[in-house]
Amino acid sequence: MEYAFSQIGIDMTGTAQSQYNKTIPVSEDQISPGDLVFFSTYKPGASHVGMYVGNGKFINANGNGISYSSVEEWKKLYPFLGFRRIQ
């Protein structure tokens, strides 16, 4: 996320939690590509972030590189913290 947003002049440096704190909530019926999606994966609070790309998918980095994932599938695996948007 840091790299992608730096390309358009937005500072999103930091952890998933600090990125969560820099954004505002967006209801699921209002999400747009470029909004962020947050999950709690290995500790309380935001520990994983991805960028929503549309059609129920988001792009995220993991141990295997960058991949597209299903929001609904991740919701079954991890606590979903919501969609958020940069102000």
Backbone angles phi, psi at 58, to 5 degrees: -140, 155
Q: What value, to the nearest 5°, has the Cα angle with vertex 56 and ends 40 and 84?
A: 50
Instruction: Provide the number of structural domains found in the chain.
Output: 1
Give the dihedral of Cα atoms 85, 64, 14, 68; nearest 10 deg: -10
Single pTM value for the model: 0.92
Q: How far apart are CA 32 and CA 35, in angstroms?
A: 6
pLDDT tens digits, one per residue of 23-49: 999 999 999 999 999 999 999 999 999
Domain that holds residue 16: 2-86
pLDDT tens digits, one per residue of 42-58: 999 999 999 999 999 99
CATH number of the CATH domain containing 20: 3.90.1720.10
